[in-house]
Each structure stands twice: as C-alpha cells, then as structure tokens.
Amino acid sequence: MSLPEPPTPGATAFSQRLISAALLASVLALLWKLSDLLVVAFGGVVLAVALRALADGLVARLHVGKRWSLLGALVLIVLLLAGIAWLAGDPLIEQLVKLRERLPAALATMTGWIHDHPLGRLGLQAWKEATADGVPWNRLAGIAGLTFGMLGNAALLVIMGIFLASEPGTYRGGIVRLMPMPYRARIDGALVESGQALRRWLLGQSFSMAFVGGATALGLWLLGIALPLAVGLIAGLLGFIPFFGAFAGGLLAVLLAFMDGPTAALHVALLCVAIQQVEGHLLMPLVQKWAVELPPVLGIAAAVVFGALFGLIGVLFATPMMVVLVTIVRRLYVEEFLERPRVAPSSSVASTVHPIVAGPAKARRPDPEG
C-alpha cells in the first residue's frame, strides 16, 4: 500500500492564502457589525486626548504625577462647569426652555413668510417635487429613540475616555503588539503623531467654538433678538462639526429672528455670515499655523462619508477621524512607501524589494523621526 503523496508547496501556499483571506474577511465583517461601537470608542479616544492634554498641562505647572494630574483635570472641569452653572445657569436654563417653546411659532412664522413671496413658493414647489415619493416619516420618528441611544453612548464614551486617559501608553502598546515585529516602531510612531495631531486640532477647534458661541450671543444681544445666550451656546457647541454645524447654528438664529419679522431675520443672517467669514478666513488660518491644517474639502467629504456610514455620530466625529486617518496615511504610506528612496539594485532579489516590505532595518536609511 503506497503512502499518500505530500501536498505540493504551491497547494500549501494557496491554502494559506485562502485561510488568510477568509480570516481577513471575517475580521472586516465583525468590525462592520460593531461599527457603531467602534465610533463610540473613537469618541472615547477624542475625550481621552483632551483630558490628557489638560492633565499634561497640570504636570508641567504643578509637577504632580500623571494619575494625580488626571484627577486634577477632572476636578478642574467639574469646577468650571459648576462655576458656569452658578453664574449663568438659571438664565441659560430659562432661555433654553423658552427657545423650545418659541421654535414652533418661529417655524410657522417663517413658513407663512415663505408662502407669501414668489421666490419662497418656488422653493417650496421644488421641495415638493424632490420629495414626491414621500418623506420617510417613520425614519424621522426614530430620532427620538436615537436620542436615548446616544445618551447611553455618551455615558460609555465618558467612561472609556477617562480610562484611556489614565494609561494611554498601555492601550497604545497593546495595539502595537498585535502588529508584525518589523513594523511596530513605525506604527507606534504613527499612533503617537496621530494623537499629537488630534490634540492640536481639538485645541484649535476649541478656540473656534468659543469665538462662534460668544460672537453669536453678543451679536444677537446687540440686535435685540430674544434668547441670545441659549442660541449662542447651541451655535458654539454645533461648531464642533465644521461647516455643517455652523450652518445649523446660523439657521437656528435666523429662524428665531423671524419672530421679530423678516428684517430682523435678514440682520441675523448677515451677522451669522460675518461671524463665519471672520472665523473661517481670519481666526482659523492663525490657529492652523500652530495647530493642524485639514483642507476644507476633506472636512466636508469626511462629514458626508462618515455620516452615510455611521449616521449622526459619524457626522459628529467625522473631522477628528479624518485628522487621524490623514496623519496615519501620510506617515505610513506617503512617507514610508511612496517618498522613501528605494534600495539600489543588486544581484540579490531581496535587495530589490522596498525597505518597508522587506523589513530589515539595515536596508533603510536613518530616519530622523524614528
């Protein structure tokens, strides 16, 4: 009885590739199934970066340990929120309640004004034609349930952010150890640089949000529009979402101004346009010199793409995700693969392989960043 022939090397290699492809497809399918949770986890990373930045500032000034600095950062945030609530809590809550009560009347006033003007009627006709198949009211009604789900996600985000900020190196090191040995140093450097870019973006965006919120509240107060503090707060918070957030905040202010007539609404619209022009063409270029620069097209594309993939929470974290993605692609692909000089040809086949593929450190030139 003859023994079975051993498998040929080609068949073995094909089987290994097939198994690897199946495992990769399974991992990708699992990640897609857990995509909402992954976006929430990324929100925890964003919060952790912000907390760690504040804690590092306390370390530099007070010379305390990292754990104590994180506790100090949390206490500082709580005291800041408590101070704001003590100084402006009652007027702000009162204005927010009145804002909720006045929005239906403001919407009715604006709708009536649109019906009374030919240009407005033309716009309404175009909207009816665009929604001739019907508006998905069932889908819109699910926003209430989505809101409660987001409250739970927000609590999870805060908890994850605190734990990540307490030991960022431990979690980063765990991710790096899952990578092949030849690439660990490069991937670790890319993750560190991504965190630094995200920290700079958060700092710059904080300046932008504070300016938009403060300028909106002050401008509405000078124009005599009702509820300036509430509208300014909402406009500032919406400023976390570039472009679309500014549009939503301006639309809210204009809608409320319709209660005082079309002329007041026009004045508020001009105010919002002026604020956005100052923020976009004066403040942000100055901030981006020492923060991080993300081309506007990429910011808009990120909001559209991640919003389509992950919904409202994808829109919320679209820009920071794009900041991290651009940094990783630039560091690991553009600089390490496209722009790094190739090894000079030799008789050895291995020497013709690009250094990032071949892996040995001696084939690469010294890296000033590594």
What is the rounded distance in angstroms from the CA atom of residue 346 to the CA atom of residue 363?
12
CA count, 13 A, side-chain hemisphere, 200: 18
What pLDDT sits at residue 218? 92
What pLDDT sits at residue 69? 81
What is the rounded distance in angstroms from the CA atom of residue 318 to the CA atom of residue 323?
9
Tell me how far CA of residue 142 lies from CA of 35, 38, 150, 279, 303, in angstroms.
19, 22, 12, 34, 21
Cβ-based neighbours of 53, under 8 Å, separated by 6 or more: 199, 202, 203
In the chain, which ranges are E strands? none
What is the rounded distance in angstroms from the CA atom of residue 46 to the CA atom of residue 317?
9
Give the residue from 173, 191, 186 showing the smallest Cα distance to 359.
186
What pLDDT sits at residue 242? 73
What pLDDT sits at residue 204? 82
What pLDDT sits at residue 8? 53
What pLDDT sits at residue 114? 67
- pLDDT by residue for the chain (370 residues), tens digit each? 555 555 555 556 667 777 777 777 777 777 677 777 788 888 888 888 888 888 888 877 777 777 788 888 888 888 887 877 776 666 767 777 777 777 777 777 777 766 666 655 555 555 555 444 444 444 434 444 445 466 677 788 888 888 888 888 888 888 888 888 888 888 898 899 888 888 888 888 888 888 888 999 999 889 888 778 888 888 888 888 877 777 888 888 888 887 777 788 888 889 988 988 888 777 777 666 666 667 777 878 888 888 888 877 888 888 888 888 888 888 888 887 777 766 555 544 444 444 433 444 444 444 444 4
C-alpha 355, offset from chain centre: 33
pTM: 0.70
